[in-house]
Amino acid sequence: MRDEMARPPKTNAGYFFEDYRVGQVIDHAVPRTLGPGERALYHALYPARHALYSSNAFAEACGLDESPLDDLAAFHVVFGKTVPDVSLNAVANLGYAEGRWLQPVYPGTTLRSRSEVIGLKQNSNGKSGVVYVRSRGFDQQGNVVMEFCRWVMVRKRDLDAPAPETVLPELKTVLEPGDLAIPAGLDFTGYDFTLAGEPHRLGDYAVGEVIDHVDGVTIEEAEHMMATRLWQNTAKVHFDATFREDGKRLIYGGHVISMARALSFNGLANAQMIVGLNAGAHANPCFAGDTIRAWSEVLDVAETDRPGVGAIRLRLVATKDGQAAGDLRGPDGKYLPGVLLDLDYWALMPV
Amino acid sequence: MRDEMARPPKTNAGYFFEDYRVGQVIDHAVPRTLGPGERALYHALYPARHALYSSNAFAEACGLDESPLDDLAAFHVVFGKTVPDVSLNAVANLGYAEGRWLQPVYPGTTLRSRSEVIGLKQNSNGKSGVVYVRSRGFDQQGNVVMEFCRWVMVRKRDLDAPAPETVLPELKTVLEPGDLAIPAGLDFTGYDFTLAGEPHRLGDYAVGEVIDHVDGVTIEEAEHMMATRLWQNTAKVHFDATFREDGKRLIYGGHVISMARALSFNGLANAQMIVGLNAGAHANPCFAGDTIRAWSEVLDVAETDRPGVGAIRLRLVATKDGQAAGDLRGPDGKYLPGVLLDLDYWALMPV
Amino acid sequence: MRDEMARPPKTNAGYFFEDYRVGQVIDHAVPRTLGPGERALYHALYPARHALYSSNAFAEACGLDESPLDDLAAFHVVFGKTVPDVSLNAVANLGYAEGRWLQPVYPGTTLRSRSEVIGLKQNSNGKSGVVYVRSRGFDQQGNVVMEFCRWVMVRKRDLDAPAPETVLPELKTVLEPGDLAIPAGLDFTGYDFTLAGEPHRLGDYAVGEVIDHVDGVTIEEAEHMMATRLWQNTAKVHFDATFREDGKRLIYGGHVISMARALSFNGLANAQMIVGLNAGAHANPCFAGDTIRAWSEVLDVAETDRPGVGAIRLRLVATKDGQAAGDLRGPDGKYLPGVLLDLDYWALMPV
């Protein structure tokens, strides 16, 4: 090693628990223009088939300007930008709440992200703490296109740093139907069920109904890394096989979310638009070679004030190792080992 | 497993042999808008280099509006949409005939598919039967952009279901040159052979000539799955490593077609546009790790009424395991084990 | 094997050393229109985050029309077109010099390439020789968008062919700041360091400073093949696992360049535009499974005549096997075995 100049380090080591303050606002770096390329890659990386996100003609018939980028693509981009400032030193991504999609992201939109620290709680071991942030994605005009809260466990740099005052944000466990933002102009009265792929409308689903989405996809390293890079999510653990002691690359939880959502087409083809994220847990880690399956449970149904448009609240569960549809937790209340994801969201569906 | 509600199943189990009727018309789901993203992915997934599909400037010099999407991309999209309704319970994809590309698919086109059942024949074992369909792809204005017939062997759900009356469609074994649709305005009189990559024009090829395309590509799981998803082809066997007993994912036959066609650039750089599909057989299965090579045989040449435009009929053979160029069948008349694909098509080439 | 017709072979065997003449100009085949799909794929294949290439809004704020394609994408396309004519029979890619990016490549540009042979020197063993070419990439209006010199060792077809007169071109070992082409309108006076991701401006970097870019990426076969195909680089050794005796596919050196450059964001986020390539060596081969890391050394800094725009000359080194940052050569003067790439380039950075 040659002698390095005495300069401050140029690389970003990320924030540690003691660096956060309640009320702190962080503007995240690297805005991103999304276009038809990201759209095509989404369809190559996931078996996505919801018609509103596949066809301009179908989207226009539903009152939109054109087919938007998948709602989860927008989520991944907004989320990805927060990683270097929020979760670079995170031990775990603990939860989500109050996620709302406020307007469709059309090709050509440039997204950037901003987070506000809304809660802090040091762990009793003194080595780490939980940071609560509300993150928002903005388009180039400054409109909020989506927002969500998440909380992560972050390590301390200096174990002797004093614990901050504990602040726990009040977060809704479930968004009410009135909280959901429905895109201007959306109209499902002329909805084409044949082109959408299934005949089932909101009234055909009953609360408590469990749907096994049947299909499985075996995951490859190249695919999850391409997806995660596409969202400019830079967490080392997803890319560097030498980072974990077991030599495995942990798959970005959002990859599992998108895969499960795409698989849910088979049974929920008409749950077109995701508009609310109530809660989510990454129950177990996912690695290349796992075969992902999915099942959903209908948690609620609701009307909206838009023509033909209803809302359905769904639990989306991703599994591996052939974990049976409908099984979620063991007798101890813990997630079963074959459960990867437990996501609670609202989608819009024709009534 | 929790008790499921008593609701009809929401997922699509696909049609079985006894569900088809001659004359039945099926509108397939999920229209798809194709754009510059799908175009770029095609070039990333296959070593495609035909200049008309690579360069707007080259395409404009040949009288087209701009560079269209690869003809086989249009085929895969139209085909992919038929899978849930035609071949979800198929045992085998038996053949193709009367495939015609009727107009170029430019970026921005939204494709949907419709199939008509044109023939049925129950197998003598009573467990399955052959379904013949003619599938058509339409753009958003309702114009047919391509059409083809295929026949598949489909399982019966109920072995006691009565056999339908046998109807065998009359299909041409080879399209005549006059059957081929040539894009409006196509003109090869100013064709730039240097930019196209080879000097050979139609007159340089002799019927019976065999061309070894030399190059080989070793196939990866991530690539064939991305390609197959991109066409929204959902057949489980391509994605789920737990589906087959041997733990292998069968590669979509169309992936082999596109790979072989792209490899055929080396020797057939000027066979620019595919306009007719006479016949095709997927002779042996292809799996990740196989190294694909290709060779072609000139089957016919023809003139057209367009300036500078000729037609060449080619046999395109994809191989694995180093099967030598020119070798197709064994003494028993069966395809050799190293033959993956035997495709008979018409392409347009400068005279 | 059936008897082949007595026709000249249709496939391209490439040029051999004795085929080149000093002054010879080769127009390379297959122009390529680049668009938003190639842009998205670049972001999926590499962890690219430089803001000017990620966001139209950011690029416009810097005085550009929109966000251009990554400079290295333009390089790879121009380079890829030269492969069938320059390096199909190359034993080694020996060096680069005088590389200049002359104008940004915006989506919609059609690129083609032309090379001029500027030097020849037969090796003393009589079996091969070094060919020096200057390659240029042109847009559809005929403007040169980039140019570079490279020299490759090429085999002779006929060992008895006479040696040509040795001509060694005079090439600059380093471009001077005045040689660099700065895009019209570029203005960094309103540069947003927060959105760009790092606060460091030109004055914060000292000549001799070494920056460890920290992050690592483990390489997959599917990714490097997709990237190399995207640039229509057809060299067999990258795609065919049966080509080398060891069954390995050699990774295109440009894949390593792009990966290292993208990794260098972490510490050099503001080294936005690559405008000059002084020199480059592919020190050791790279294969799938290698984990690539990168470090940079500041070689020089310079002012320009554009508002707020400075230039930084950097050595970019890609490594594998955990080779430490800053280590380049052993006591024998040879590159250490963990060094993959040693690249010397100029980039534009806010002052």
A137 pLDDT above the threshold of 70: yes
pLDDT digits (tens, 9 = 90+) for A212-243: 999 999 999 999 999 999 999 988 899 999 99
Mean pLDDT value across chain A: 95
Top pLDDT among B92 and B64 is at B64
Distance (Å, whole) CA A197 – CA A187? 18
8 A C-beta contact, residue A235 and residue C266: no
A152 pLDDT above the threshold of 50: yes
Does A55 contact B27 at a Cβ distance shorter than 8 Å? no
A120-124, A247-251, B239-243, C86-90: least confidently modelled range? C86-90
**Residue B248 corresponds to which tokens in the numbers above?**
């292998």
Distance (Å, whole) CA A323 – CA A327? 7
A200 pLDDT above the threshold of 80: yes
8 A C-beta contact, residue A269 and residue A263: no
pLDDT at position C8 is 67
**What's the rounded mean pLDDT across residues A1-27?**
80
Q: DSSP character for B208?
A: T
What percentage of chain C carries pLDDT values higher than 70? 98
pLDDT at position B4 is 44
pLDDT at position C234 is 86
C329 pLDDT above the threshold of 70: yes
Confidence of residue C90 (pLDDT cuts 50, 70, 90): confident
Helix (H) / strand (E) element for C150: namely: strand C144-155
Q: Which residue of chain B comes nearest to A325, CA vs CA?
A: B1
Q: Which residue of chain A comes nearest to B226, CA vs CA?
A: A44
- Minimum-distance CB partner of C31 among B51, B208, B211: B51
> Does the interface predicted TM-score (ipTM) exceed 0.90?
yes
Task: With beta carbons under 8 A apart, name residues in chain C contacting A239.
Answer: 47, 215-218
pLDDT digits (tens, 9 = 90+) for A165-188: 999 999 999 999 999 999 999 999
pLDDT at position A234 is 86
pLDDT digits (tens, 9 = 90+) for C222-256: 999 999 999 999 888 999 999 999 999 999 999 99
A8 pLDDT above the threshold of 80: no
Residues linked to residue A279 through DSSP beta bridges, in sequence order: A344
Task: With beta carbons under 8 A apart, name residues in chain A contacting C194.
Answer: 27, 29
Burial class (CB in 10 A: 0-12, 13-18, 19+), C95: middle
Residue with tokens 């599938």: B135
Cα B309 to Cα A179, B55, B207, B301: the distances in Å are 61, 19, 18, 11
**What's the rounded mean pLDDT across residues A315-325?**
96
pLDDT digits (tens, 9 = 90+) for B285-313: 999 999 999 999 999 999 999 999 999 99
- Minimum-distance CB partner of C44 among A108, A221, A230: A230
First-last CA distance in chain A? 67
A2-16, A32-46, C206-220: least confidently modelled range? A2-16
Residues linked to residue A20 through DSSP beta bridges, in sequence order: none
pLDDT digits (tens, 9 = 90+) for A154-165: 999 999 999 999
- Minimum-distance CB partner of A36 among B10, B36, B241: B36
C3 pLDDT above the threshold of 90: no
Does C49 contact A234 at a Cβ distance shorter than 8 Å? yes
Query: Measured between CA atoms, how close is B304 to chain C, in angstroms?
Result: 23
Does A217 contact B234 at a Cβ distance shorter than 8 Å? no
- Which of 319-338 (A) contact B at CB < 8 A? 322, 324-327
Q: In this complex, is the C-beta atom of B214 within 8 Å of any C-beta atom belonging to chain C?
A: yes
pLDDT at position A12 is 80
**Residue C182 corresponds to which tokens in the numbers above?**
């700065």
pLDDT at position A5 is 43
8 A C-beta contact, residue B232 and residue B347: no
Q: Which residue of chain B comes nearest to A209, CA vs CA?
A: B5
pLDDT at position B245 is 94
Distance (Å, whole) CA C126 – CA C341? 29
Distance (Å, whole) CA C255 – CA C42? 11
pLDDT digits (tens, 9 = 90+) for B166-211: 999 999 999 999 999 999 999 999 999 999 999 999 999 999 999 9
pLDDT at position B2 is 41
pLDDT at position C91 is 85
**What's the rounded mean pLDDT across residues C118-144?**
97
Q: In this complex, is the C-beta atom of B99 within 8 Å of any C-beta atom belonging to chain A?
A: no
pLDDT at position B346 is 98
pLDDT digits (tens, 9 = 90+) for A73-103: 999 999 999 999 998 888 888 999 999 999 9
pLDDT at position B56 is 98
**What's the rounded mean pLDDT across residues B76-91?**
93
pLDDT digits (tens, 9 = 90+) for C14-54: 899 999 999 999 999 999 999 999 999 999 999 999 999 99
Confidence of residue B13 (pLDDT cuts 50, 70, 90): confident
pLDDT at position A35 is 96
Q: In A184-321, which ranges are continuous DSSP H helix? A: 193-196, 221-230, 253-263, 265-268
Task: With beta carbons under 8 A apart, name residues in chain B contacting C40.
Answer: 37, 40
Does C38 contact B38 at a Cβ distance shorter than 8 Å? no
pLDDT digits (tens, 9 = 90+) for B134-178: 999 999 999 999 999 999 999 999 999 999 999 999 999 999 999
pLDDT at position C190 is 96
Q: In this complex, is the C-beta atom of A248 within 8 Å of any C-beta atom belonging to chain B?
A: no
Dmax over CA atoms of chain C, in Å, equals 71
- Minimum-distance CB partner of B229 among A44, A198, A222: A44
Distance (Å, whole) CA B20 – CA C14? 54
Task: With beta carbons under 8 A apart, name residues in chain B contacting C221.
Answer: 218, 220
Q: Which residue of chain B comes nearest to C111, CA vs CA?
A: B55
pLDDT digits (tens, 9 = 90+) for A285-315: 999 999 999 999 999 999 999 999 999 999 9
Top pLDDT among B258 and C7 is at B258
Distance (Å, whole) CA A182 – CA A52? 14
pLDDT at position C89 is 83
Task: With beta carbons under 8 A apart, name residues in chain B contacting A289.
Answer: 241
**Residue C293 corresponds to which tokens in the numbers above?**
């890391």
pLDDT digits (tens, 9 = 90+) for A23-36: 999 999 999 999 99
Q: Which residue of chain A comes nearest to C200, CA vs CA?
A: A10
Q: In this complex, is the C-beta atom of A110 within 8 Å of any C-beta atom belonging to chain C?
A: yes
From the centroid of its chain, how far is CA C311? 19
Q: Which residue of chain A comes nearest to C47, CA vs CA?
A: A229
Domains of chain A: residue spans and CATH: 16-34+69-171 (3.10.129.10), 185-351 (3.10.129.10)
pLDDT at position B234 is 86
Cα A266 to Cα A216, A269, B12: the distances in Å are 11, 6, 7
Confidence of residue C261 (pLDDT cuts 50, 70, 90): very high
Mean pLDDT value across chain B: 95
**Residue B333 corresponds to which tokens in the numbers above?**
């008349």
8 A C-beta contact, residue C59 and residue B59: no
Residues linked to residue B342 through DSSP beta bridges, in sequence order: B281, B317
Distance (Å, whole) CA C80 – CA C235? 9
B3 pLDDT above the threshold of 80: no
Size of interface A-C (CB pairs under 8 A): 148
A2 pLDDT above the threshold of 60: no
Mean pLDDT value across chain C: 95
Does B36 contact C37 at a Cβ distance shorter than 8 Å? yes
